[in-house]
């Protein structure tokens, strides 16, 4: 068959019927020996190659595998081969390709050789008793990169563990005069976020795991989807070490009250020199009309999630990370390249295994280019949000751009930076765009991930510096920009949905204006713990917003009727607006109503209060006012570039 015919056959119901299998795939060690299973339906011959280490060029054993139904190739032996490295020679249409195992769960240096592993021997002490902390009233997600988190010597982490998984196991690090301020895990406990989202921690291809220098990458270039990245381990050669140390990191975060979200990139691979391609050429990949690789990801290696064995592969991988590593949630990179049916299957499977909503699932509802999915496939992009399960969330770029200005123009202003504050648009943001008449409405706030910055694009601080300071003051703490930062944060934390933030946003993290730092120096990307200490007043403002939000049912409501809580929308001035909300519900709140007021202008303005006594819960400088609230009636003043949150009993 030519490429067009092969593509049509892979997409056909006949291929699915003839070759879909649910037999466990990969290598498995049991008391009876070792089993290898590979799915390669188009192969004429498959040879298992065994190696004593991950550097050996020639295998010490070559074993012809036996073909079974459904395109399955297997080999069983009574020998216990744990610790042995392996790969396959797969012959398709006369072309022989050496490959690692697509289902590998361990590997050697740089992921080239797969390794047989007994996973029970990779568990740190107490792993069997590890449990995620109990869910609270709200989820606050804090995104970080393993290397960023602790690379700075001021982090207080020991030199050997800086930039590594094991940094998360050092839970009492400090900085400042006489070590009075926490860093790293202790800092996160004090900040009171609920979830730590780790940028890619699977094995990726852009960093040499044997190079202990400052080589850096975010890691959005997958190689082995089911193996932890080795550059974050103390030993990248021994395949067991990275597994054990990642588990220890997850365990330490759990013990300190933090759940763990994994950033997953199933929409493309690093390149076509990948086990998925080499075992079944083109099956796992979308193609353009000319036969070249699909480019919906912008990387030229777009994964065909709508094909049944590809969907099975992604689902198996998600469930594996949830079970083996106790991962508490999954953030899908370029989720718009996955089909709706797959995302709903993932949500359903996690619910069935762990309880409804126990594991978070959300992603980016867009693509990086034109996709080439099978005709008739409904994709998980913004236009199809209402087709997704209510438990599948999506980043809300509507709120992001409304608050801080357009993404593609550094000078573009938003509600917090002098761009005007329209009450109707503010109301859309507050209700998480759920049920709105906007072009891409969310069905319920349970789907809305409200955020201002992530690893992509400018940090919030850098965007505000460009807009308000002309891009000249990244390192300086100018008062107007600090006020805008606090206002932006206050609006974001008053939006229904789930709040997401880039690590360091709360201390004015800067990358010196660099927009896309995916392979920039670690010195630019690292969390600057001295800056966190200097800007502890801003950190405290975020901390107070987090504490307050958790007590307000109006903001924690994720139901489809949450928008009904908006009782009154008021335009106070061109740059100022307020929203009154029904705050009744279970929880700690003493207030039946709350009033959210924001002034993005440079002049104060008067706010006429609805009848009754209102108590100040947060203002433009003090987000802990709710701990000792004072009452006001009739009229108050909204200070320039500030927020005011009031409660009425």
Active site residues: 333, 364
Tally the C-alpha atoms within 13 A of residue 309's C-alpha that lie toward its C-beta.
Answer: 32
CA angle 442, 444, 450 (to 5 degrees): 70
What are the helix (H) ranges across 380-476? 397-404, 423-430, 460-469
Across 87-109, b (16+ Cβ under 10 Å) vs e yields bbbbebeeeebebbbbbbbbbbb
CA angle 616, 618, 623 (to 5 degrees): 140
Do residues 497 and 432 lie in contact, with contact meaning Cβ atoms separated by under 8 Å?
yes
Do residues 165 and 248 lie in contact, with contact meaning Cβ atoms separated by under 8 Å?
yes
- Evaluated on CA atoms 609, 615, 619, 621, the torsion sign reads positive
Give the separation between CA 127 and CA 248, rounded to whole angstroms: 8
Tokens 């202790």 -> residue: 186
Q: DSSP readout, 293-341?
A: BP-TTSSS-BB-TTSHHHHHHHHHHHHHHHHHS---EEEETTGGGSBHH
Q: What's the DSSP call for residue 527?
A: -
Give the separation between CA 347 and CA 353, rounded to whole angstroms: 10
Q: Which tokens go with 130?
A: 């590890």
Give the separation between CA 348 and CA 350, rounded to whole angstroms: 6
* Maximum pairwise Cα distance, the chain: 85
Tokens 């789930």 -> residue: 498
Q: Which tokens go with 129?
A: 């008793």
Cα distances from 210 to residues 108, 236, 524, in angstroms, run 11, 7, 22
Q: Which tokens go with 365?
A: 């509802």
Decide the pairing of beta strands 26-30 and 33-39. Answer: antiparallel
What do you get for the CA distance between the two ends of the chain, in Å?
A: 73
Do residues 46 and 335 lie in contact, with contact meaning Cβ atoms separated by under 8 Å?
no
Going by C-alpha positions, the residue among 332, 383, 386, 385 that lies closest to residue 359 is 332
Give the separation between CA 182 and CA 186, rounded to whole angstroms: 5
């Amino acid at each position: 068959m030519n490429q067009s015919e092969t593509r049509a056959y892979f997409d056909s119901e006949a291929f699915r019927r003839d070759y879909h299998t649910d037999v466990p795939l990969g290598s498995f060690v049991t008391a009876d020996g070792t089993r290898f299973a590979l799915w390669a339906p188009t192969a004429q011959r498959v040879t298992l190659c065994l190696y004593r280490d991950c550097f050996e060029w020639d295998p010490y054993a070559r074993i012809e595998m036996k073909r079974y139904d459904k395109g399955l190739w297997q080999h069983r032996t009574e020998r216990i081969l744990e610790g042995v490295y392996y790969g396959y020679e797969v012959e398709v249409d006369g072309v022989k390709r050496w490959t690692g195992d697509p289902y590998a769960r361990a590997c050697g240096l740089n992921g080239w050789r797969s390794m047989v592993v007994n996973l029970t021997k990779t568990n740190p002490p107490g792993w069997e008793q590890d449990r995620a902390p109990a869910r609270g009233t709200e989820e606050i997600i804090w995104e970080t990169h393993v290397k960023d988190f602790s690379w700075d010597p001021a982090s207080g982490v020991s030199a050997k563990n800086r930039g590594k998984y094991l940094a998360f196991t050092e839970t009492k690090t400090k900085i400042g005069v006489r070590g009075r301020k926490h860093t790293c895990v202790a800092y996160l406990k004090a900040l009171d976020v609920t979830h730590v989202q780790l940028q890619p921690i699977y094995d990726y291809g852009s960093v040499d795991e044997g190079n202990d220098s400052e080589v850096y990458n975010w890691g959005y270039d997958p190689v082995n989807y089911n193996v932890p990245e080795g550059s974050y381990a103390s030993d990248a050669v021994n395949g067991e070490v990275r597994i054990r140390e990642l588990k220890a990191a997850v365990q330490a975060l759990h013990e300190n009250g933090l759940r763990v979200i994994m950033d997953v990139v199933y929409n493309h691979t690093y390149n076509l020199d990948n086990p998925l391609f080499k075992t079944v050429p083109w099956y796992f990949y979308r193609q353009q009309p000319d036969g070249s690789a699909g480019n919906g990801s912008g990387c030229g290696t777009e994964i065909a999630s709508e094909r049944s064995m590809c969907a099975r592969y992604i689902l198996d991988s998600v469930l594996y990370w949830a079970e083996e590593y106790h991962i508490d949630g999954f953030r899908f990179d370029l989720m718009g390249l996955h089909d709706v049916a797959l995302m709903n299957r993932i949500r359903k499977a996690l619910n069935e295994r762990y309880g409804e909503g126990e594991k978070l699932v959300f992603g980016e509802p867009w693509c990086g280019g034109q996709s080439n999915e099978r005709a008739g496939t409904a994709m998980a992009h913004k236009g199809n949000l209402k087709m997704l399960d209510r438990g599948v969330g999506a980043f809300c770029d509507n709120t992001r751009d409304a608050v801080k200005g357009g993404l593609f123009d550094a000078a573009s202003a938003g509600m917090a930076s002098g761009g005007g504050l329209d009450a109707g648009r503010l109301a859309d943001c507050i209700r998480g765009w759920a049920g709105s008449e906007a072009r891409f409405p969310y069905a319920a706030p349970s789907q809305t991930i409200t955020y201002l910055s992530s690893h992509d694009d400018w940090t919030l601080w850098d965007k505000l510096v460009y807009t308000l300071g002309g891009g000249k003051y990244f390192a300086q703490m100018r008062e107007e920009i600090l006020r805008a930062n606090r206002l932006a944060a206050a609006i974001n934390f008053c939006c229904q949905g789930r709040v997401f933030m880039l690590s360091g946003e709360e201390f004015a993290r800067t990358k010196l204006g660099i927009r896309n730092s995916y392979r920039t120096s670690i010195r630019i990307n690292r969390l600057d713990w001295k800056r966190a200490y200097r800007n502890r007043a801003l950190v405290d403002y975020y901390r107070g917003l987090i504490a307050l939000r958790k007590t307000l049912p109006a903001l924690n409501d994720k139901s489809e009727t949450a928008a009904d809580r908006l009782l009154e929308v008021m335009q106070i001035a061109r740059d100022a607006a307020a929203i009154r909300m029904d705050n009744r519900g279970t929880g700690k709140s003493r207030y039946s109503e709350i009033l959210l007021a924001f002034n993005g202008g440079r002049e104060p303005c008067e706010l006429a209060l609805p009848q009754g006594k209102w108590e100040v819960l947060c203002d433009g400088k003090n987000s802990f006012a709710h701990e000792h609230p004072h009452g006001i009636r009739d009229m108050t003043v909204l200070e320039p570039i500030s927020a005011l949150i009031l409660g009425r009993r």
